Amino acid sequence: MTTQSDKKTRNRTPQTTLAKQARRLGLSLKDIQRLTGEPYGTVKNWSQGRSRCPRSALRLLAWHRLKNWGKY
């Protein structure tokens, strides 16, 4: 038997690392696409968790955050 709290956690989609970083920085998927130089469909797949986001893309976001430190 499942409880009410089990249903809530099961139906929730896990948020990917890319989505968390982008939301924290206030960037859209188009902004991430411009930073990484990857096709928009690839970035969309990364953010939806369909394919794994490479660490190099996450490093680029971290670099962007450090470069614009005072803005965030």
Q: pLDDT by residue (tens digit) across 29-46? A: 899 999 889 999 999 998
What integer pLDDT is reported at residue 66 of this predicted model? 87
Q: Is residue 52 part of a domain?
A: yes
Q: Concatenate the DSSP letters of all residues of 22-72 into one string.
A: HHHHT--HHHHHHHH---HHHHHHHHHTSSPPPHHHHHHHHHHHHHTGGG-
Q: Is residue 30 part of a domain?
A: yes
Q: Is residue 69 part of a domain?
A: yes
What is the domain range of residue 31?
A: 26-72
Q: Is residue 46 part of a domain?
A: yes
- 48: pLDDT confidence band, cut at 50, 70 and 90? confident
CA torsion, points 1, 6, 8, 21, in degrees to nearest 10? Answer: -160
The mean per-residue pLDDT over the stretch 14-32 comes to 83
Tell me the residue type at 8: K
Q: Is residue 21 part of a domain?
A: no
Q: Is residue 42 part of a domain?
A: yes
How many independent structural domains does the chain possess? 1
